Amino acid sequence: MPKFLFALALLSVSIPASAVARSGTPQEQAACSRDVQRFCRPVIDQGDFTILACLQQHRAKLSKACDQVLKNNGQ
């Protein structure tokens, strides 16, 4: 668990909020909204960085469009 908290702290320092479905462009939001609902619903009210960490934890299962949004934003 401490490794996860450390990783989350690092993410919050280095990741632009635009990489998250709620904070990105309308196109980015559309690309990731289903993935956020599917994989990150339990943490959806915990802020953008928590949602981003959740998406990264489920990276292998994300849609190609959402995966591309993360890549386009340096993730």
pLDDT per residue over 6-28, tens digit each? 444 444 444 443 344 456 788 98
Q: What's the number of domains the chain is made of?
A: 1
What mean pLDDT is reported for the chain?
77
Domain that residue 11 falls in: 2-72
Q: How far from 71 is each of 15, 59, 68, 75, CA to CA, in Å? A: 12, 11, 5, 5
The pLDDT of residue 75: 86
What is this structure's pTM? 0.67
pLDDT band at 4 (very low <50, low <70, confident <90, very high): very low
User: How far apart are alpha carbons 18 and 11 in whole angstroms?
Assistant: 13
Q: Which of 13-17, 37-41, 67-71 has the weakest average pLDDT?
A: 13-17
